[in-house]
Structure 1
Amino acid sequence: MQKYGMRWVALDNLIEARKALTEIGADPGGIAHMAGKGLGRGIKLEQVPLRVAHILKQEMLSLGGDAAVHRDVIINKVETTDVMLLGTVRQLEHLSAKVLAQPFGLKQLGHDLKKLLFSLEPPKSRILTCRGKDLRLGERTLIMGILNITPDSFSDGGRFFSINDAIAQAERMVEEGADILDIGAESTRPGHFEVSAEEEWQRLEPIVKALSERVSVPLSIDTYKAGVAAKALEAGAHIINDIWGLQKDPDMAGVVGQYSAPVIVMHNQNGTAYHHLMGDILTFLRQSIELAEAQGLVGDQIIVDPGIGFGKTTEQNLEVMSRLAEFKSLGHPVLLGTSRKSMIGKTLNLNVEDRLEGTLTTSVLGVTAGVDIIRVHDVQENRRAVQMADAIVREQRGVHYVGA
């Protein structure tokens, strides 16, 4: 009996699909037409008006896909419904084009769907200019080294509180492969005591001025206070890392816009109550993105952070970790910060000083999910783990075949 060597081929994006079809020897014109047919996507829309839901259902069925809606939509007993578009990339591309001519706000939906589908493809190599220093995105996962100049940080409080110790640690992290240094002068661990903007800047000023002249990598300032951010940027810092996503200090967005400084916007909230965990987090981050865009920042200048360890239970943190790839739908670089956090300690029942292996696991998972930057305390160990993961993940499947 003839056997055909049947096997499943993992195709996660158009690049992989095109390579797999090229390996078969398919006609180039056919490849362009067929590649999107092998990629399934589930696109969720929230609170869609009833009449729009009917149109989307009808259009997806006409294209050979489907749209899941609330069961009461068919009898018109709901005013709005969440919708799950189910189809191939090819079908969804056709949908995005078809609805451009439809009423009820579907033109904008068509544009947004096209943009989202593009964001799910592997990013191209490009340069992010950080006020005079460049970062190359898209080729490998970057490492951000954490430098806490606080007496009460959860992980290394007091170790680098003196300027000499802080400078030595910064230089050590750069030697170990840090692409960015993230400097924080106020602990943000649960139960921390807030410090005034004056005290925070008093801690930051000498180290920012010293490192801006001594290290070659961009300096990121971990602060949610606009006054501190402005002074740090004026003193030579390059990036602002706001744990409240520009939404706590109303002047922060204006500061990053004034200095054209790349900004990291992190999800955060008081308490751990959510309507839909991922939906609520993404909504918060979209609001942060809009605040940054209103001040003139665009594209890679806005970096999103899911906020592991902030406003989330251990179970919620683990769910976010399992769905990291969904943050690519925002269309901006993604930063992941899990280093030594309580999610690891509670899952493995380990003290903070014993969480390296757990951190390395989350870093590698971040690479597989397509994040752009990993924020860590242990630079050398994480750099090696990430470099190995990059060698596997970023070497696209299908590149090694006869005739390539």
Structure 2
Amino acid sequence: MKIRNITVLNKREALEEISRIGAESTGCRLMAPKAVHRLIKIYGLSPKQATILKQEMLSKGGEAAVARGVLDSSAQSSEVILMGTLRQMEELISKLKMQPFGLPALGRQIKQVLDNLEGRPVFDLDCRGKKVTIGNRTLVMGILNVTPDSFSDGGKYYDPGMALERALGMVEEGADIIDLGGESTRPGYAPVEPEEELKRILPVLKRLVRDIPVPLSVDTCKSLVAEAALEEGAHIINDQWALRQDHRMAEVVARHGAPLILMHNQKGTAYRELMGDMIDFFNDSIDRGMEAGIPRDKMIVDPGIGFGKTPEQNIEVMGRLKELECLGLPVLIGTSRKSLIGKVLDLPVDQRLEGTAATVSVGIANGADIIRVHDVKEMSRVARMTDAMVRRKI
């Protein structure tokens, strides 16, 4: 006899493992949801709601952790952690449909999260006429800064001719998207007015739109810049403040039918709960976008490594990136040459290639769909090798 453990991440993988041993097909379908265990955290429940969840999960062989004062109603509210198999969660959702206290709506939210954790299908993202396929392999976004003060390449590509040459080079090296930025966001940066930002990016954008075959993203948090860029032919808007800084941004992006990247950002590094706060932030930004008319499936989330976080918090986010899967949206990471790498390795900006490669590989293993990088050739190779192991595609 031999014995070993196996790892399954979702129902599909569980079904494959059970089928592999020769189990009967109907039995495979019945057993697969029992092989996948989930932990779901819920916030702001009343003692009555938390008590019902606890009782229902226990009756199904699962578990629910609640605050100490829930059972005697001494607690005003409670967070709840549901612990159980997919089958137990499915049975809970069915039971919640018949419960009072707003629990049917909660059941629908739990089901949506569980569906998101099963993985997104591969799909084509329409970038205003140009398409990129999300989910088949990791996409590479090449960074093109036309600023005098960016932390890594400030001043190098200020000239439109040099910028075009660099963009064409990145495409040849494997870039699927070019991200054009006209304002540095390095620590201690000096904000620029929209007119100055447009003065920097429009001459370059005109050349890129004409000569670059891949979608062009514009990295800005200003609606005036976004609108001018989209009218000039840009395909994607990359908002560093996720619709929080300029109230017109959502309407502009919606009107032009562009995909939108929502980056997590905040002033200061104080969190009640790091990942929970980030997910609340994204849900709020997603709601703002949808209210303005941006389809949910045209939004991408970026955890904002290096923004509003300490080095320790950045490392925690990278290790817990999979928790963003509950949103059901593509994830972009931008770790290239960041100070996080410099602090860990004690290296200057121009010596952070290996550190960037490590963060890219871990990011892809933890669910990133797009990597935003300076060193396109090298990171494209890292992504291909990591995809071969994570997505099992050679």
TM-score when normalising by structure 2: 0.98
Kindly report which structure 2 residues correspond to 1:202-213, keeping only aligned pairs within 5 A, or say none: 202-213=199-210
Post-superposition Cα deviations, 1:259-301, rounded to whole Å, max 9, x if no partner, equal 1110000111111111111111111111110011112222330
Q: What is the DSSP-based 3-state SS (H/G/I as helix, E as strand, rest coil) of the residue aligned with 2:243?
A: coil
Q: Which moved more, 1:387-396 or 1:267-276?
A: 387-396
Residues 380-399 of structure 1: pairs in structure 2 closer than 5 A: 380-395=377-392
State whether residues 299 and 331 of structure 1, in contact with CA within 8 Å, keep that contact through their aligned partners in structure 2: no
For 2:57, the equivalent position in structure 1 comes to 60
Correspondence list, 1:43-122, <5 A:
43-122=40-119
1:110-149 counterparts in 2 under 5 A? 110-149=107-146
CA–CA separation in structure 2 for the residues paired with 1:299 and 1:7 = 41
Q: Which moved more, 1:293-302 or 1:356-365?
A: 293-302
Matched residues in 1 for 2:207 and 2:101: separation?
Answer: 56
Report the counterpart of residue 312 of structure 1 in structure 2: 309
Partner of 1:22: 19
Amino acid at match of 1:140: R
Q: Matched residue of 1:72: which SS?
A: coil
Partner of 2:273: 276
Distance of 1:27 and 1:205 partners within structure 2? 62
User: Match of 1:382, as an amino acid?
Assistant: M
Does residue 1:263 correspond to 2:223, yes or no? Answer: no
**Residue 15 of structure 1: how far off its partner (Å):** 1.5
Paired residue secondary structure (1:265): strand
Deviation at 1:130, TM superposition (A): 0.5
Equivalent in the alignment of 1:303:
300
> Contact 2:261–2:301 at 8 Å: present in 1 too?
yes
How far apart are the structure 1 equivalents of 2:58 and 2:98?
18
**Cα displacement string for residues 331-354 of structure 1 (whole angstroms, at most 9, x for unaligned residues):** 111111111111111111111111
Q: Distance in 1 between matches of 2:299 and 2:313?
A: 24
Match for residue 399 of structure 1?
Answer: none
Q: Tell me how far apart the structure 2 counterparts of residues 39 and 187 of structure 1 sit (CA, whole Å).
A: 44
Asked whether the equivalents of residues 286 and 296 of structure 2 are also in contact (C-alpha less than 8 Å), the reply is: no
Q: Which residue of 1 aligns with 2:37?
A: 40
Counterparts of 2:361 and 2:87, CA distance in 1: 31
Q: Is the 8 A contact 2:251 2:293 kept in 1?
A: no
Of all paired residues, the percent bearing the same amino acid is 52
1:249 to 243, 246, 249: 246
Q: Does the CA contact (< 8 Å) of 2:334 and 2:371 recur in 1?
A: yes
Counterpart among 204, 211, 222 of residue 219 in structure 2? 222
Q: Is the 8 A contact 1:271 1:312 kept in 2?
A: yes
1:198 aligned onto 2:199: no
What's 2:329 paired with?
Answer: 332
Q: CA deviation at 1:16?
A: 1.1
Distance 1:264 1:103 in 2: 38
Corresponding letter in the other structure for 1:252: M
**Partner Cα separation in structure 2 for residue 101 and residue 306 of structure 1:** 37
Partner secondary structure for residue 69 of structure 2: helix
Quote how far apart the aligned CAs of 1:47 are: 1.7
* Aligned-residue offset at 1:367: 1.2
- Segments of structure 1 that go 5 or more residues without pairing to the other structure are 397-404
How far apart, in 2, do the equivalents of 1:121 and 1:171 lie? 37
Report the equivalent of 2:359: 362
Alignment partner of 1:44: what SS?
Answer: strand
Residue aligning to 1:377: 374
Q: Which runs of 5+ in 2 are unaligned?
A: none
Query: What's 1:352 paired with?
Result: 349
Q: Indicate the SS of the match to 2:97.
A: helix
Aligned residues: 393
Q: SS in structure 1 opposite 2:156?
A: coil
TM-score where L is the length of structure 1:
0.96
